[in-house]
Amino acid sequence: MAPTTIAAPSSCMLLKTPFSLKRGSKTLSLNNGRRLSKRLFSCNAIYNPQVRIKREGQPETLNYRVFFEDASGKKISPWHDVPLHLGNGVFNFIVEIPKESSAKMEVATVELYTPIKQDTKKGKLRYYPYNINWNYGLLPQTWEDPSFANSEVEGAFGDNDPVDVVEIGDSRGKIGEILKVKPLAALAMIDEGELDWKIVAISLDDPRASLVNDVNDVEKHFPGTLTAIRNWFRDYKIPDGKPANKFGLGNKAASKEYALKVIKETNESWAKLVKRSIPAGDLSLV
């Protein structure tokens, strides 16, 4: 797979001489001879890395993993080391589940370097009962804190995962692909009492991206999509005999402004997590 270039956000200072910043005993080498720490909290970015995908094992097996590597071939974490912000309201989105597929892929938050794998239950691979109709994945450098009760969403606690994204563009993504997206809306799903945000976004490469900038534009240019997303996530567990999921915020999609608020708050929670201001439990911070 060809490497994906991730540019640093405009708020980061780009240094012009070789240097090395250490985080403990670790540094991250880049192919231009410069070195940067694995995480620069001042800008939440790695300067100009070449991110490559390395697949281990066979798809739809228990051993299948999709790892991320930098230009030197060192493993990095898609959750922790891919920057969130790209500037001007644009964010990196990592595809876990391509649209029109049913294998329940997810970042393995408790494994070293947090690769993407297929979720399991009782030792068996998990599948949705029907295909998901949009690209689905995560915002890197976000975390829904399970110790935080959100007073705006029925006091529900975070689900201990990165924030989920539903990307509504026309193209089908690939597992591990990094897309530049802009948020449009937010759905506050409550899954067995846990708050599990769904940020609705669109890839900047989509031909209709310039037409949609907020929740009302989604209804205009993608009519019925927000209702379809809510209903899909409300009902997907019912075939397994579980109750339907609920939604807070009046059962409606919140605005882009609210989605940006969710992203900001969960990015701050992630920063506290990786700085070890909050106990990580079994989560991998590497």
Catalytic residues: 128
Cβ atoms within 10 Å of 251's Cβ, excluding its own: 11
Q: How far apart are CA 72 and CA 3, in angstroms?
A: 12
**C-beta of residue 80 within 8 angstroms of C-beta of residue 114:** yes
User: Nearest Cα to 246, choosing from 110, 169, 165, 154?
Assistant: 154
- Residues 6 or more apart whose CB falls under 8 angstroms from that of 11 comprise 43, 85, 87
Task: Please compute Rg for the chain using Cα positions.
Answer: 18
Task: Outline where the chain has alpha helix (H).
Answer: 215-221, 225-235, 256-274
- DSSP-derived letter for residue 240 is G
Q: How far apart are CA 231 and CA 212, in angstroms?
A: 21
Cα 39 to chain centroid distance, Å, stands at 17
Please state the φ and ψ torsions of residue 249, each to the nearest 5 degrees.
55, 40
Q: How far apart are CA 55 and CA 53, in angstroms?
A: 6
